[in-house]
Structure 1
Amino acid sequence: MTRAFLGLGSNLGDRMGYLKDAVAAMDDCVAVSGIYETDPVGGPDQGRYLNVVAELDTSRSARDLLELCQMLEAAAERVRDVRWGPRTLDVDVLWVDGETVDEPDLVVPHPRMFERAFVMVPLGELAPDLAEGWSDPANGDCRRLGDWDELVPPASEGIS
């Protein structure tokens, strides 16, 4: 099994619901960072994002993880009209221990992760070794809303 990290973000519709559904669909997810609200980076004028990082203990390769990311985005009915535009769900492969990929449709480690507070701050909660020495060059606004388990109760809670 290999340690891997996925970055998830949403700024359209039921943002928390899209994140919750995506995390629930990952059977190899072992931890989720706190939930952060952040300003969009690049693209057109749009609303703020909710962001988390998920840690997986997985037998999937980086390529298999990309397929998982695309499946999760499709389940959230993500539309790709505008580059860096608003989206129901964005899922990126950030890191896979021991694996480096440099292909047109997949680069691991993620090529811009060290430039983005909305990735590095939650990643640092789960993997301090990967965030060691990182400082935010853009001083991005990354406001922690709370722990995943506090803000996203299990599906069975509240059902009678």
Structure 2
Amino acid sequence: MDTLTPQERSERMSRVKGRNTKPELVVRRLVTALGHRYRLHYGKVPGKPDLAFPGRRKAIFVHGCFWHRHPDPTCPLARLPKSRLDFWLPKLEANRERDLAKRAQLEALGWSVIEIWECELTRAPEQLTERIMDFLGPSQSAMKHLPPDRDEAPAAGP
């Protein structure tokens, strides 16, 4: 049973943001700290990824576990509400189906996509950093500072 009146619930729900959420800001800071540049809410591809890397054809979506139905059964943030399941279940399932369709469209265009879940930011931040590094590869700034490969070093003169 909801403890708020319908008007209070409506007021609260109207404050839910779709962009620049706290999880998204955390991921953006992390990606920037890793030396990568990106486009925000890139509208030139399906789904407007939260972070897009057009030159690499890579996209990151940062999902709230509740709103996007995190499929991990151990996620504490993905619980269904106790009331109005007839409203919430179709709504949240439609969100998830839309996410999967966007991903499929991007992949059909040759893009690689990862989803970062809100709970990953607190449950396993080190693993998340590794996952992002593996997905994006080295940054352009990191590439400039790598020593030359020994096989490609110029031969010494006489």
Tell whether the structures are fold-level matches, with TM greater than 0.5: no
The TM-score normalised by the length of structure 1 is: 0.25
The TM-score normalised by the length of structure 2 is: 0.25
Query: Between Structure 1 and Structure 2, which shows a larger proportion of strand residues?
Result: 1
Higher-Rg structure is 2
